[in-house]
Amino acid sequence: MRGIYWLMLASVLTSPPTTEADSQPPVLYISTKGDDSWSGKLASPNKAKSDGPFTTLERARDAVRELKQNGGIAVELRGGVYERDTTFKLTAEDAGTAEAPVVYRAHAGEEVRVVGGRHLPPAAFKPVTDPAVLDRLDSVARGKLLQADLKSLGIGNYGEFPNRFRGAAPVLELFFNDQRMMLARWPNDGWAHVAKVVERGSVPRVGDKTVKPGAFEYEGDRPARWKIEDGVWLTGYWCFDWCDEAIRVRSIDPGKRVITFTDPHIYGLGSGNQGPRRYYALNILDELDRPGEYYLDRKTGTLYFWPPAPIAKARIAVSVLQDPLISLDAAAHVTIRGLTLEACRGVALTIKGGREDQIVSCVVRNTGQAGIAVEGGEKHRVEACDIHDTGTLGISLVGGDRKTLTAAGHEAINNHIYRFSRLQRTYASAIQVGGVGNRVAHNLIHDAPHQAIGLSGNDHIIEFNEVHHVIMETDDCGAFYMGRNPSERGTVIRYNFWHHLGSPLGHGNAAIYFDDGDGGQTVYGNVFIRCGEPALGSFGTVFCHGGHDNLIENNIFIECKRAIGAAPWNDRRWAEALKEGDWQQKLLKDVDITKPPYSTRYPELEGYMTPSGKPRMNRAARNVAVMCGQFVRGNYLDDDNFITDKDPGFVDAAKGNFQLKDDSIVYRKVSGFKNIPFEKIGLYRDANRPTLTARRWSYAPPHPLPPLQQARPVVKKAAPPPVFRVARTLVAPQIDGTINTQEWNGADPAKAMVLEQDVGGMKVDRRSLAWLLCDDDALYLGIDSAVNPSVPMRVGQSWGQDDAVEIALSNPAAGKSAPIIILRGFPNGHFESSDEAGAPAEVVKRAAEGVIYKARIESASRWTAEWRIPFSSLGADPSKHTRFAFNLTVRKSGDNLWLMWEGTRARSWEVD
């Protein structure tokens, strides 16, 4: 049960503070009862109805342009609903000054709602009586559904779903009593699972332009009832658990239980992560079977709805406006205060360019896309806003010049952001930060499927935020995430409280995730409790993938399975990454890390493009691990950290107060450990956020975790493991990379080892074939690997990135604890012996001795390889041991596939 409850701040505010100007500016008024022919100087119409407030924002704006030359001015909106079908635009012409800002604000004590939609009268809804419609419904829904004719209400633009989309489609949505209703879907909750991939389809992500749609076998019989001509989309995690996408259904074959899409998934259908692929179907009248669901017939304009409560006095609205409700374009010193912005198909409010605009004490909810988007300009601020139920992001905060490292100085402070990323389930953060020198502070962020804070750029400050219950349905992810560009450095993540994050799915997750070579960041003074899932890999609560020069210092980790983790890259992978076009663009063209200001701001970048071979390290210093399963794993300099299974002296851990007492043992055990100001973390009360409830904590007190056991996964199988019988040969094949039929007993496909399973064990197209022979001295392998001809073959020698073949086996002579030997070969003729499975160095070295490997690129769609592996290099005697645990994998970069003899549902080299 969730342990934190919050009082939601409405847009009904006390009198606004007078921070906009020392003197009271003139005030203009807007009211739903006003008239644009009036002066706007009265808050209410006079008795004669000859003067009073304006009725539109545009009329007030034009009046401001005439008056503001004499100083600042305020526009007050009286309480009510202001429906918008166009954007309210403010430009440089509408700017104020630092001394005399222009303010648009809610009248004190009144709720002002700016709505990007149309309200529907309850009387417009009538019972559904059409037999053709009733026959399609589940019996539980008959007699419960109502319908409304939107066309008769003047609403004809419903938006269209693209055949394939990731994120929020620009379509009409329904809201009931300010809550987003659910487009009819199946299953009502959770996910359906793919039984089997029938056709992977093309892979657009790697440049595949064949546009071949995927197909899969489904479980059960439910899809047979759907009428796909009306448009049915499936939203799912089709390959990776960090990438959701909705794709339209082209056909359903009930006999074979096969669904075929109209378009390919960006990564193709398959199992990029552990676990079954999952999805739900939406936009199906037949599945409108519970309160709160609706369906729109776009041909007739008929809206079908099962209300979750009596409708007579309900507030009912549909979103209409695709453009922002309010836009500030090159405007300066403009404040928007105390408004509720809601029910639009796009972004509620945008700021582009300009300087020192402020969005303060607003409620932003029920948007189709982001809540507030700031792009460019200087020193804009989003403060004390409640942002929730957005389709994608909460706040986007981008600004600053990365070439010159000039800071923008934008701020997102004291905001409460929750239930964001409702439509786009991944990479739609509560706060997305980009550019240089922006600050995210004192925000409360919770309840989302994926990350809370996404970041790119340089020299940002992330501090005093509380984050919980995010990354709840995704994997290989972090509550904070940045990566894939080592020029983005200098960010400080300090004094934040991260707790109760993630839902284990098999790969791993983190509270803070520096991905794909990211380095040069600082994590200081944070408190983590019950964060991070190592799964089967090296994930930690703070996790560095590939990168170095990250400092993890003065943090407290409580009941985390692994506090700090890393998956470092070796010298070869670094050398190849630095040569790739993508990193050449990022490190030398977008910016140039070899020259000022980068070479002077970040001296550790000296020599970065020409690695010297020195160890690439991160540093973990003066941290405290309390009741954790493991403290650290990976490339860290471990300096003066304290590990304990006892309460180190928290003020009150049982009630969620993890402030250290003055006499805590930490200060004696860790030289130089600095107090973490825990009491200052999170939202705070002030004039802009006048009401706030204290944190309520109902979680179990921390308890010691057992030592982390990093065991390899056990894949349960219904039958004994497959066995491939290797034929003996009297004449050894000539190892030259060419599959000669005379050397390989005819190279008969019927006698080959077939590589056609992805990681998850699902069969896919473009299989590869392998032939195996042996004599008294060696094992011989010939591989014929078909690849995607529409995507250039990656000819390098980096496993995972380039096309390759991998042999994994264990020596039966070494018993059950035998190390797994890994040999990998590439189309360019290079081969290597790898220690990735944990084999001792001497075993890895011996495994390569005497091995002969040759490869040949036959065409754009095929390459071949041959191996001779001496039994002596494996430490095996074939006269005594004839049974080897074995797997064979080919890496196909063009299809983004690891194709195996036997799908492991884990690492490709698993042979158990």
3-state SS track over 815-863: CCCCCEEEEEECCCCCEEEECCCCCCHHHHHHHCCCCEEEEEEEECCEE
What DSSP state is assigned to residue 721? P
132 shares its domain with 192: no
Helix (H, G, I), strand (E, B) or coil at 598: helix
DSSP bridge pairs for 783: 770, 865
How many structural domains are present in the chain? 4
Q: Model confidence at 506, in pLDDT bands (50, 70, 90)?
A: confident
Is the domain of 554 the same as that of 599? Answer: yes
Q: Are 554 and 548 in contact (CB under 8 A)?
A: no
Answer yes or no: do 179 and 191 share one domain. Answer: no
Tokens matching residue 532: 């991070």
Rounded to an integer, what distance in angstroms lies between the CA atom of residue 727 and that of residue 263? 44
CB atoms within 10 A of CB 93: 13
pLDDT surpasses 90 at 44: yes
| Gap between the Cα atoms of 219 and 258, Å rounded | 9
How far out from the chain centre does Cα 263 lie? 22
Mean pLDDT of 672-695: 95
Asked if the model's pLDDT at residue 677 lies above 70, the reply is yes
Q: Is 120 helix (H, G, I), strand (E, B) or coil?
A: coil
One domain for residues 676 and 740: no
Instruction: Give the domain-ending residue among 665, 690, 715.
Output: 690
**Is residue 10's pLDDT more than 90?**
no
- β-bridge mates for residue 293, sequence order: 182
User: Half-sphere exposure of 96 toward its Cβ, with a 13 Å CA cutoff?
Assistant: 25
> Can you read off the two tokens belonging to residue 320?
């209409």
Give the per-residue pLDDT at 20. Answer: 43
Specify the CATH number for the domain of residue 882: 2.60.40.1190
Checking if the pLDDT of 553 tops 90, the result is yes
Residue 497, strand partner residues: 466, 527
The full 3-state SS of 495-523, as one line of letters, equals CCEEECCCCCCCCCEEEEEEECCCCCCEE
405 in any annotated domain = no
For residues 357 and 535, which has the higher predicted lDDT (pLDDT)? 357
Contact 509, 501 (CB under 8 A): yes
Q: What average pLDDT score do residues 155-168 get?
A: 94
- pLDDT in the model for residue 660: 98
Q: Report yes or no on 490 lying in a domain.
A: yes
Distances in whole angstroms, Cα of residue 649 to Cα of each of 137, 290, 415, 666, 736:
60, 50, 31, 8, 68
Judge if 129 and 229 occupy the same domain: no
pLDDT at site 717: 45
List Cα–Cα distances, 912 to 265, 754, 808, 821, in angstroms. Answer: 32, 19, 11, 13
Ordered alpha helix ranges (H), 544-645: 571-579, 581-584, 598-601
What is the band of 9 on the pLDDT scale with cuts at 50, 70, 90?
very low
Could you tell me if residue 55 is inside a domain? no
Say how far apart CA 27 and CA 71 lie, in whole Å: 12
Closest among 44, 66, 62 to 53, alpha carbons compared: 44
Mean pLDDT, residues 276-280 = 94
At 22 the pLDDT is 46
* pLDDT average, residue stretch 457-472: 98
Instruction: Work out the average pLDDT over 547-560.
Output: 98
Give pLDDT, residue 719. Answer: 61
**Same domain flag for 660 and 757:** no
What DSSP string describes 127-161?
E---HHHHTTS-TTTTTT-EEEETGGGT-------
Which residue has 């009596």 as its token pair? 310
Q: Do 748 and 619 fall within a single domain?
A: no
199-236 as b/e, with b when 16 or more CB fall inside 10 Å?
Answer: bbbbbbebebeeebbbbbebeeeebeebebeeebbbbb
Whether the CB-CB separation of 765 and 200 falls below 8 Å is answered with: yes
What's the pLDDT tens digit per position in 589-646?
A: 999 999 999 999 999 999 999 877 788 999 999 999 999 999 999 989 888 999 999 9
296 and 216 together in one domain: no
What distance in Å separates the CA atoms of residue 829 and residue 401, rounded to the nearest whole number? Answer: 44
Please indicate, yes or no, whether residues 801 and 890 belong to a single structural domain of this protein.
Answer: yes
* CB count in 10 Å sphere of residue 877: 14
Residue 372 has pLDDT above 60, yes or no: yes
- Residue 378 belongs to some domain of the structure: no
3-state secondary structure of 624: strand
Model confidence band, residue 273 (pLDDT cutoffs 50, 70, 90): confident
Q: What percent of the chain has pLDDT over 70?
A: 95
Whether 151 and 193 map to the same domain: the answer is no
User: In which band, very low, low, confident or very high, does the pLDDT at 883 lie, cut at 50, 70 and 90?
Assistant: confident
So what's the pLDDT on residue 904?
A: 77
Q: Are residues 226 and 269 in the same domain?
A: yes
CA pair distance 178, 308, nearest whole angstrom: 12
Return mean pLDDT, the chain. 93
> Which residues form the domain of 434?
419-690
Q: Is 433 in the same domain as 561?
A: yes
**CA atoms within a 13 Å half-sphere pointing along the CA-CB vector of 130:** 11
Domain contains 833? yes
735 residue type, one letter: I
- Give the DSSP letter of residue 700: P
Distances (CA, A) of 825 to 62, 763, 855, 863, 894: 71, 23, 8, 12, 17
pLDDT for the residue 3: 38
pLDDT in tens, 215-247: 999 999 999 999 999 999 999 999 999 999 999
Q: Does residue 465 register a pLDDT over 70? A: yes
- Position 73 in a domain: no
The answer to whether the bond into 597 is cis (omega within 30° of 0) is yes
Q: Which of 679-693, 827-841, 842-856 has the lowest mean pLDDT?
A: 827-841
Please report whether residue 751 resides in a domain.
yes
710 — pLDDT class (breaks 50, 70, 90) = low
Residue 22 lies in a domain: no
* Token code pair at residue 358: 């402020």
The pTM for the full model equals 0.84
Mean pLDDT, residues 144-166 taken together = 97
Q: Which helix (H) or strand (E) holds 196?
A: strand 192-199
Q: Can you tell me the mean pLDDT for 689-698?
A: 89
Token digits for 744? 């390989």
